C-alpha cells in the first residue's frame, strides 16, 4: 500500500513539475506570449544559433531584404562565436535567450532550469552588454522551475503563433505557403538557423535562407511590417 501511495505521489510530482506547465503554455497558451498586438506587424524569429554555417548567410539575406529579426540564441554557442552576435547587434537585430545549452527542459533539475535562463542572460550581458527581456525555452518546453527566473529576472516567456516544420529539409515555396496560410496580425514566426539540434535534418536551414526574399516580399505585399520582439512587446 505504501508503495502505491509513494508511486502516486511521484506521478503527481512529475505532472506538476513537467507536464502541467507545458499544457498551460503550449495548449492553453497561459503564461506565455504567443503573438503580439492585433496590428499589421509580424515578428520574424530564429532559434538555435548562432551557427557558423548558416547564420552569416541568413544575416546577409535579412540585410538584403531590409528586415530586422529576433534571434533566440544558445548562450554557449554565442560565447564560442562572438563575431556573429556582434554582427547581429551592428545590423540592428534583437538578441534574446533560448537557453544556456540546447537542453530538454522538462527533465532538468530546478537549478539547471534556472541556469537555462538566468545563466544565459548573465553570459550575454557580461560578454556583449546585451540586456535580454525574453526567453523562449528550447523546443518550446518548460517545467515548473522555469517560471521562477522570468519573474525574478524580468524575462517573459515567449513561444510562437506560426511554426512550419523548417527543421526538416523543405522547399522554400512550401515553407512560404505554410506561413502565409497562418499569417495574422501580431504573428510570431519561428524558424531555425542551425541543424545541430537533435531532430533537425542536415542542411535544413539552407531552405530557410532561400525563403527570406520571397517571405519578406509576400508578407509586406499583404500590408504587414516586420518588427523585432523587443520593439512591440
What is the pLDDT, as a whole number, of residue 167?
97
**Crossing angle of the two packed helices 82-90 and 55-65, in degrees rounded to 10:** 10
Least confident of 65-69, 105-109, 145-149: 145-149
pLDDT tens-digit readout, 22-62: 888 888 888 889 999 999 999 999 999 999 999 999 999 99
- pLDDT class for 9, splitting at 50, 70, 90? low
**Short-list 141, 145, 142, 149, CA closest to 122:** 149
CB atoms within 10 A of CB 129: 8
- pLDDT class for 149, splitting at 50, 70, 90? low
Distance CA 177, CA 203 (A): 20
CA atoms within 13 A on the CB side of 136: 28
232 sits in the region (left: phi over 0; alpha: psi -120 to 50; else beta) called alpha
State the residue range of the domain holding 137: 2-232
Report the number of distinct structural domains present in the chain.
Answer: 1
| pTM attached to this predicted model | 0.94
**Percentage of residues of the chain with pLDDT beyond 90:** 77
**Short-list 179, 192, 193, CA closest to 224:** 179
What is the pLDDT, as a whole number, of residue 24?
84
CATH number of residue 187's parent domain: 3.20.20.370
What is the pLDDT, as a whole number, of residue 95?
98
Amino acid at each position: 500500500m505504501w508503495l502505491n501511495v509513494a508511486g502516486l505521489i511521484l506521478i503527481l510530482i512529475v505532472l506538476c513539475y513537467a507536464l502541467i506547465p507545458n499544457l498551460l503554455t503550449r495548449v492553453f497558451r497561459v503564461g506565455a506570449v504567443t503573438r503580439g498586438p492585433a496590428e499589421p506587424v509580424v515578428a520574424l524569429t530564429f532559434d538555435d544559433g548562432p551557427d557558423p554555417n548558416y547564420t552569416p548567410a541568413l544575416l546577409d539575406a535579412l540585410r538584403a531584404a531590409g528586415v530586422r529579426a529576433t534571434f533566440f540564441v544558445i548562450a554557449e554557442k554565442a560565447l564560442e562565436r562572438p563575431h556573429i552576435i556582434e554582427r547581429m547587434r551592428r545590423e540592428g537585430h534583437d538578441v534574446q535567450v533560448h537557453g544556456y545549452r540546447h537542453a530538454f527542459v522538462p527533465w532538468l533539475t530546478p537549478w539547471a532550469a534556472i541556469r537555462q535562463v538566468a545563466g544565459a542572460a548573465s553570459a550575454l550581458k557580461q560578454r556583449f552588454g546585451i540586456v535580454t527581456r525574453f526567453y523562449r525555452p528550447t523546443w518550446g518546453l518548460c517545467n515548473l522551475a522555469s517560471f521562477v527566473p522570468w519573474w525574478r529576472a524580468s524575462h517573459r516567456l515567449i513561444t510562437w503563433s506560426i511554426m512550419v516544420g523548417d527543421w526538416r529539409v523543405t522547399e522554400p515555396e512550401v515553407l512560404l505557403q505554410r506561413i502565409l496560410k497562418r499569417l495574422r496580425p501580431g504573428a510570431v514566426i519561428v524558424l531555425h538557423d542551425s541543424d545541430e539540434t537533435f531532430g533537425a535534418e542536415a542542411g535544413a536551414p539552407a531552405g530557410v535562407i532561400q525563403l527570406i526574399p520571397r517571405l519578406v516580399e509576400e508578407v509586406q505585399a499583404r500590408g504587414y511590417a516586420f518588427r523585432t520582439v523587443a520593439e512591440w512587446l
